[in-house]
Amino acid sequence: MSHSLVFQLLIVMLFGLVSGEILQKNCSENTDGRSLSCYTCLGRDQINCERGLTCCMGSCFKLVDLDHDLIVKGCVNEDEEDASMKVRTLDINLYWANGEKVKGHF
């Protein structure tokens, strides 16, 4: 292997370690009950998504709005059953859809 290729691989590995540490949110030390770390996302797919992490006291969720071709991931304060497939309307107004709200399976 050439030295430049080895150097490039080391840089990529180092960046992965550093970015992983930055993105990890440690919620276990919270004293307000928000001890669960949830991935957040709002976008058309996993690649084109405004994302982050948040601390949650209830359950993490993923909602798919087929009418607006939208994925929403986040946190609710209530405990939810896994794969409950409930239809929910979120209080998020979509400016490009005349203020319609996000609605889909939870």
pTM of the model: 0.63
b/e for 67-104, b at 16 or more Cβ within 10 A? ebebbbbbbbeeeeeeeeeeebebeeeeeeeeeeebbb
Domain boundaries, the chain: 28-103
Contact assessment for residue 21 and residue 41, using Cβ atoms and an 8 Å cutoff: no
Band of the pLDDT at 16, cuts 50, 70, 90? Answer: very low
What per-residue confidence (pLDDT) applies to 81?
66
What does the mean pLDDT of the chain come to? 74
How far is 34 from 28, CA to CA, in rounded Å? Answer: 8
